[in-house]
Amino acid sequence: MSIMMSELSWDEYQRRIRDDAIVLLPVGAVEQHGHHLPLGTDWMMATYMARRAAENVNGIVAAPISYGYRSQVRTGGGAHQCGTTNLDGGTLINLVKDVVKELARHGARKIAVIDGHFENRFYLDEACFLAIRELQWAGIEDARILKMIYAEKISDETMEKVYAGGDYPGLDLEHGGILETAMMLYCYPDLVHLDRVKDEPLPEFPPYDMFPGNPDWVPTSGALSSGKLATAEKGKLLVEEFVATVTESLRREFRNPA
């Protein structure tokens, strides 16, 4: 039987929920990642991580929320390239809150929100807080939500291997760079075009933001650093570490006896 909610019939899904399945909700973004990566990189990777972790904990992956909070110039290149499709913060909060409440209405009591887009972070915090508060007001006292950015922590050992032979630009500039390119090469190789990676100078951002955003701050490709040294082997190191982290987190909070 599939672990993807969208591939289950309603009664198959109901049986899984009644068996106390953890429900994972991937949230990402539709955002440019340079010339070499697809617009769906963030939601596709969040969904991949959720699926792999769900396989390990006998969970269910809810239909992903593909759109996310607006791309910021200093972390995601902004919205200057065609295709980046942004939600207002309030829209994202209400969308995630409503989906989580619906999952709880179905009977889910162990829900995990898996974030693949840095800019979503605090809006997802608010969505989860409001969902729990409103569920409690409705008399549902036992629902719990785990929210995590799947790539928030990377071991020093993995970082050394991933950046062997190259300079580390810093996580702030890892948009469309080695990390995301390597992971996509491992998970979705047919969607990566390494021959299109541009060698551009790293941006030198000031310690502030401007509104409207200034496209001159961002390399013309939209990527904030080069992904040319990415390989599927490096992607495997990253992905398998992240899958293990998500799996361990789910087991710690939802499967270990109190």
Model pLDDT for residues 28-45, shown as the tens digit of each residue: 999 999 999 999 999 999
Task: Give the number of domains in the chain.
Answer: 1
The active-site residue out of 36, 80, 115, 117 is 117
Residue 42 designated active-site: yes
pLDDT, tens only, 214-254: 999 999 999 999 999 999 999 999 999 999 999 999 999 99
Residue 216: which domain range?
A: 5-255
- pLDDT at site 256: 66
- Separation between Cα atoms, residue 128 and residue 65, nearest integer Å: 14
In this predicted structure, what is the pLDDT of residue 33? 98
Does 124 score more than 60 pLDDT? yes
- 180 is an active site residue: yes
**pLDDT tens sequence across 60-95:** 999 999 999 999 999 999 999 999 999 999 999 999
212 prior amide bond cis, ω within 30: yes
Query: What pLDDT, in 10s, does the model give residues 161-220?
Result: 999 877 888 888 999 999 999 999 999 999 999 999 988 999 999 999 999 999 999 999
pTM of the model: 0.96
What pLDDT is attached to residue 73? 94
Short-list 50, 92, 10, 43, CA closest to 246: 50
Catalytic residue among 36, 42, 115, 174: 42
Active-site residue among 33, 80, 115, 174? 33
Whether 119 is catalytic is yes
CATH number of the structural domain spanning residue 163: 3.40.50.10310
Of residues 102, 119, 125, 240, which has the active-site annotation? 119
